[in-house]
Amino acid sequence: MTDFKDRERAEEAKFAFDEENAFKIAARRNRLVGEWAAGLMGLTEEETDAYKKAVVQADFEEAGDEDVIRKLLGDLTAADCDVSEADIRSKLEECSVEARRQFMSERG
C-alpha cells in the first residue's frame, strides 16, 4: 500500500510541477507577444512594460488563448495597425516556441 501511495504522491507532484511550468511558459509567451504588439503600436519603453503586463493579465479572463487574441486584435486595430487575427495566432505560436526555448535554457 505504501508503494501505491508513494507513486500517487509522485504523480501529483509531477502534475503540479508540469502545470506550474506551463503557466510560466504561457506568461513568458504573453510578454513576448505583448512586446511585439507594443512595437507595432509605437509604444514607449514604459508603455511597453505596462502593455506586456496587461497582456499577461488578459490571459486570466478565460481558459485558452481567445482572451489574449481578443485583447491584441482590439488594441492593434484601435492603433490602426494592419494585423489580422491569423497574424496574431501565428505570432502567438512563434512566441510560444521562443518562450519554451528560453524557459528550458534557463532551467538547464
User: Residue 2 pLDDT more than 80?
Assistant: no
Quote the DSSP letter at residue 104. H
pLDDT given at position 108? 67
Separation of alpha carbons 43 and 26, rounded Å: 23
Give the pTM: 0.86
Query: Tell me: the pLDDT tens digits for 4-44?
Result: 788 888 888 788 887 899 999 999 999 999 999 999 999 99
**Domains in the chain, please, with CATH?**
26-107 (1.10.790.20)
Query: Tell me: the pLDDT tens digits for 81-108?
Result: 999 999 999 999 999 999 999 999 987 6
